[in-house]
Amino acid sequence: MATWDEIAEALDDYTVTCNGNERLRKMQRDWTRQLHFVCSDTGDTFSMDVRSGEIVATPPGHVGVPDIVVTADSETFCDMFWGDLNPMPKYLRGEIQVRGSQEDVMRLDAISYVIWPDA
């Protein structure tokens, strides 16, 4: 199990990597969403505020009304935010559960794919 501090560290790196990727910012320029995350093993929750493709905040707890809710175990979140894990196989096996539109689910995966194409 990953601690909240580990997740927060991974989130910080993810935010910097995403916001620094020009191609991703261009691709997601019309994507403004509120994301909620739930760690199924620890019960930790956190949010991600994305505005015009830029991650502007990743506060702990659930903030605002979500467009997407992602549930997975804490280790999966950590590995995913560090770019060590391709989330799609886990999603297709039901180990990552997402609530949201199909388009948003794909956009979420596309972020990982664009910044870490070899993961």
Partner 1 sequence: MSDPSAASPPALRRAVGTVTATATSAGLAFAAINFLGIVSVATYAAGASAWLAILVGLGIALVVAAVFSELNGLFPTAAGVRLYVGRAFGNRFALTATFTYMTTVVLVIAADAFLIGAAIQHVLHERSSLAYLWILALLAVATAANLRGITLAGRVQSVVTYTVLASTVLLSVIALTRPGLRMETPFALFGDGVMSGFQAIAFALFLFAAFEWVTTTAEEARQPSVITRALFVAPVLIWLAATGFALGLAHLVPKGLADSSAYPQLLLGQAALGRLGEVWMLAVTVLTAVNTFNGGFLVASRFLYAAAREGNLPRDFARLNLRAVPWLAVVTLAVASAVVAGVVFASGQWLLLVAVGAALEAAMFAIGSAALLRLRRHDARPRPFRMSAAPVLAGGGVVLFTGLALASGFSDPNDPSTFSPVPALVVATLAVLSYCYVRFVLPRMHRAAAARAVAARAAGTRTRRRPPRAATTAEPTSDEPAS
Using CB under 8 A, list all residues that contact partner 1.
4, 6, 9-10, 13, 23, 26-28, 31, 34, 36, 38-40, 43-46, 60-62, 65-69, 71, 78-79, 82-84, 86, 88-89, 91-94, 97-103, 105-107, 109-110, 113-114, 118
- In the complex, minimum distance from the CB of residue 48 to partner 1, in angstroms, rounded to a whole number: 14
- In the complex, minimum distance from the CB of residue 16 to partner 1, in angstroms, rounded to a whole number: 12
Of 54 and 105, nearer to partner 1 (C-beta) is: 105
Of 22 and 56, nearer to partner 1 (C-beta) is: 22
- In the complex, minimum distance from the CB of residue 36 to partner 1, in angstroms, rounded to a whole number: 6
- In the complex, minimum distance from the CB of residue 69 to partner 1, in angstroms, rounded to a whole number: 6
SS (H, E, C) 20-50: CCHHHHHHCCCCCEEEEEEECCCCCEEEEEE
Q: Look-up: residue for tokens 């991650």?
A: 55
Q: Look-up: residue for tokens 């991974």?
A: 10
Residues 6+ positions from 60 with CB-CB distance below 8 Å: 4, 8, 44, 45, 46, 47
Residue 77: name the closest of 101, 97, 49 by CA.
97
- Per DSSP, the three-state class of 48 is strand
